Structure 1
Amino acid sequence: MPDDLIAPRRNQFMNNEKAVAIGSRFWEETAAHGLAGIVASLGKDGYFTTDNGHRFVNLSCCSYLDLDSHPHIIQGAIRALEKYGVLDHCISRVRVQMPALLELEDSLSSLFRAKVVTAISASAASAGILPLIASGHLANGEKPVVVFDKNAHFSMNLYKAVCADETEVLTAPHNDMNFLEDVCKKHKNVAYICDGTYSMGGHAPAEELLALQEKYGLFLYFDDSHSLSIVGEKGEGYIRSSIQEVNDRTIIVATLNKAYGAAGAAIMFGPKRSDQALTLERFGGPLAWSQPMNTAAIGGALAAAEIHNSPELKERQEKLQRNIKLFDARIDTEQKGLQFPIRVVRASHENVINVGLDLYRQGFYVSPVFFPIVARDKAGLRVMLRAGMPESEVQRLCDTILRNKLF
């Protein structure tokens, strides 16, 4: 049989049949206990309220600096809508783009000290960028061996099969630099795909990765969505703060939704890589289609950039760090001592939903997490601390967790 007629082996990179079969039981149990699909409105006091009057603090929210409800950002979105009179142009930016979009990218480029291109989301950015890295078009013209960190976010892992249609794809044990260096020794051109800061806590070993880049020319792709705004003098994030400049073998992606407080995503290239940005705009899947950031998102992101250039950013960063330290002083987690606001309080698969329900009844919504979100033996409660949470509520949260005797 000719090689091109041989059926490819299935489930090399994904296995939905297995994941859905295992995960459905826990999602159904979560929903049955009222911990999924909650409908609630955010009040001006920072609390959510359901239709039946239950009030709670949302500790499953990625708005770590509580900027998503900031009046200046809300007004920025409204001003942009009033100025341009349209919500969404619905046309590829390669053909027509709003002046405000270029204004935003100039503002973000200055803020993050990089050549910034925007996207509708970090997931859309990955969908556009990763196949072009695999084909070599964003990796200096040569197809690299593409190595995904085992814990890379699903929004990146989703494109392993697409990348594998272009080049060889490998999966590295989490943060295993020995594995990665062995690949670099065997192959002339290697690209590494990982989170800068992981959604379950912890971060990439930036210093070691930069050393491998210097030694072997390693291409680096980071999604640093969870640290943007909370780290750096201008909120540039963990990875951007760790490197002197974004070079031509590094791309950093970060959402503008989470701590940044607006919507969309920023893609950071080296300041001299306009060619990479243009290739992405023309051939980057969702980035080349008719879905750029809409007018409200652009206006809100411009207003958020102004806050990032003001003393208020540091004040909110410091308030977040105080809440993190307060939590760490009383609750032991694997993430204890890290500056990032995600903490996973371990609980058994059998008990995690009941504990989550008790916390919810006490006014705290904390996500139970279980396989396949985490490994089978890593079930727990993912606590996502925020700057706007009063210290008294952090203490009350700790009291409730301790009462459940999880550790």
Structure 2
Amino acid sequence: MMSLSAMLSRCFYAARAPAWGRSLTRARSALAQLNALLEAELESIRGAGTWKNERVITSKQGAHISVQGSSGAILNFCANNYLGLSSHPEVIQSGIEALDQYGAGLSSVRFICGTQNLHKNLEAKLAKFHQREDAILYASCFDANAGIFEVLLTPEDAILSDELNHASIIDGVRLCKATKYRFRHLDLSDLEAKLKETQKHRMRLIVTDGVFSMDGDVAPLKEICDLSEKYNALVFIDECHATGFIGPNGRGTDELLGVMDRVHIVNSTLGKALGGAAGGYTAGPKALIALLRQRSRPYLFSNTLPPPVVGCASKALDLLMDSNIIAQTMTSKTKRFRSQMTAAGFTIGGMDHPICPVMLGDARLASSIAEDMLKRGIYVIGFSYPVVPKGKARIRVQISAAHSDEDIDRCVEAFVEIGRKHKVIS
């Protein structure tokens, strides 16, 4: 015999069944509508020729890699592994030792129970390397850029940003309440005009990439610093594509251009030249770093950088500070590639930087050439909108200290053969 509670329960659910059925139908209808919208958007990306396939690497990062679906060793000319340290034996061993001693991760954020002595040691080392008072670690430089501007600037302030700054800078600027000004790329006259316009504000911050990642061009930091001092502004640089290999000791564009004591704030990454794993940081005045520890949201609400990553980056930094030989090899390798490609008839963007954009214009063409290069054993990727502006598609070749002269010559030979096939060069 059914209990009273069971009878009441059955009656309740029977009464609610039609309503639940209608709710489920509406939920399915909404999901179907969402899927239709998403599929239409995805199809428009395919139709524009800007679809980005993710190739699967089945080996360590390096100059020579294995790629799923390709036979034999593939020459890699597409990584930010500028110093070739991503699979350096000492870097790997340091990561293993950190894993063994400190564990896989902290399961926490820094101010709760996520700060270990190896984090503090790396921050001190980064501050010393950049010749700044202090430094703070983040999970990525994207987080570092997202976390600084809203802490530093108020509605009384102004921020002046180069129009081609990295997406992470753009997103970070959007988060702050300062009045926003965008100056034309590398245009000092436009920057000065906007500095004059911003004199009504309490504080002015000029924000620029040190090296612009899509083109490999270098910000005119000396002239920017001249303007900053003329109009009483601060200077911030993102050094992700400079740290470790630009300047006599690899300290970046401010060292290269002799303005280390005139640039106020440096953001950079551990995920490129310094081991290639992950992580970012801000280096600058002690008071700023202290404030970021108190208020920077990506720092306060993100898990601590894993110990193995910190161990790898710390060893990479040691190798760099012990000797600048690795960093200095980049100049001759970069010149070798650029000069040969230019002589062959290709248009190479930027100047004297290991980022060597092979300018093609058309997104489909860039994608097709990249696929043909892979068939020839060369890993490169076509870059198109929204990563670069429409009509400026390219293949961004990146030179590494791990590349031999023979590797570079083989890459050029493949470009020449495939460039002629696609009628890019004669």
Whether TM exceeds 0.5 here: the answer is yes
Note if 1:118 corresponds to 2:132. Answer: no
Alpha-carbon distance in 2 for matches of 1:46, 1:327: 15
Structure 1's 244 and 198: CA in aligned 2 closer, same or farther, altered over 3 A? closer
Shift of 1:208: 0.9
Structure 1's 295 and 184: CA in aligned 2 closer, same or farther, altered over 3 A? same
Q: Is the 8 A contact 2:137 2:281 kept in 1?
A: yes
1:177 is matched with 188
Structure number with bigger Rg = 2
1:320 is matched with 330
Note if 1:156 corresponds to 2:169. Answer: yes
Note if 1:231 corresponds to 2:246. Answer: yes
Counterpart mapping for 1:4-403 below 5 A: 24-25=45-46, 30=51, 36-42=53-59, 46-54=63-71, 55-84=73-102, 86-96=103-113, 97-114=115-132, 115-135=134-154, 143-163=156-176, 166-188=177-199, 189-200=203-214, 201-246=216-261, 250-262=264-276, 263-269=278-284, 273-311=285-323, 314-332=324-342, 338-349=351-362, 350-403=364-417
Shift of 1:266: 2.8
Deviation per residue, 1:330-375 (Å, 9 max, x gap): 1126656833201111224142222111111101111111222222
Higher helix share: 2
Q: Read off the aligned partner of 2:45 and give its amino acid letter.
A: S
Alpha-carbon distance in 2 for matches of 1:53, 1:375: 31
Q: Read off the aligned partner of 1:226 and give its amino acid letter.
A: H
Structure 1's 241 and 293: CA in aligned 2 closer, same or farther, altered over 3 A? farther
* Greater RCO, 1 or 2 (C-alpha within 8 Å, sep 6+): 1
Shift of 1:70: 0.6
Shift of 1:176: 1.4
Q: Read off the aligned partner of 1:291 and give its amino acid letter.
A: N
Q: Is the 8 A contact 1:125 1:267 kept in 2?
A: yes
CA RMSD of aligned residues (A): 2.5
Structure 1's 343 and 53: CA in aligned 2 closer, same or farther, altered over 3 A? closer
Deviation per residue, 1:290-324 (Å, 9 max, x gap): 4222111111122112201223xx33223322221
Q: SS state of the match for residue 66, structure 2?
A: strand
Q: SS state of the match for residue 181, structure 1?
A: helix
Q: SS state of the match for residue 161, structure 2?
A: strand
Alpha-carbon distance in 1 for matches of 2:387, 2:44: 8
Q: Read off the aligned partner of 2:240 and give its amino acid letter.
A: S
Q: Is the 8 A contact 1:224 1:239 kept in 2?
A: no
Alpha-carbon distance in 2 for matches of 1:151, 1:45: 29
Q: SS state of the match for residue 381, structure 1?
A: strand
The TM-score, its normalising length taken from structure 1, stands at 0.84
Q: Read off the aligned partner of 1:321 and give its amino acid letter.
A: T
The TM-score, its normalising length taken from structure 2, stands at 0.80
Shift of 1:51: 3.9
Q: SS state of the match for residue 330, structure 1?
A: helix
Deviation per residue, 1:245-300 (Å, 9 max, x gap): 446x721111011011143123110xxx3221111011011112242221111111
Q: Is the 8 A contact 1:319 1:388 kept in 2?
A: no
Alpha-carbon distance in 2 for matches of 1:92, 1:353: 41
Q: Is the 8 A contact 1:227 1:340 kept in 2?
A: no
Structure 1's 217 and 59: CA in aligned 2 closer, same or farther, altered over 3 A? same
Alpha-carbon distance in 2 for matches of 1:241, 1:88: 36
Deviation per residue, 1:140-170 (Å, 9 max, x gap): xxx321122110101111234322xx12112
Q: Read off the aligned partner of 1:100 and give its amino acid letter.
A: L
Alpha-carbon distance in 1 for matches of 2:44, 2:86: 31
Structure 1's 212 and 373: CA in aligned 2 closer, same or farther, altered over 3 A? same
Q: SS state of the match for residue 226, structure 2?
A: helix
Deviation per residue, 1:200-230 (Å, 9 max, x gap): 1102110111101111111222111001101
Which structure 1 segments of 5+ residues have no match?
Answer: 1-16, 137-142
Q: SS state of the match for residue 331, structure 1?
A: helix
Alpha-carbon distance in 1 for matches of 2:259, 2:69: 52
Q: Read off the aligned partner of 1:307 and give its amino acid letter.
A: L
Q: Is the 8 A contact 2:50 2:385 kept in 1?
A: no
Structure 1's 169 and 37: CA in aligned 2 closer, same or farther, altered over 3 A? same
Q: Read off the aligned partner of 1:122 and give its amino acid letter.
A: C
Q: Is the 8 A contact 1:252 1:267 kept in 2?
A: yes
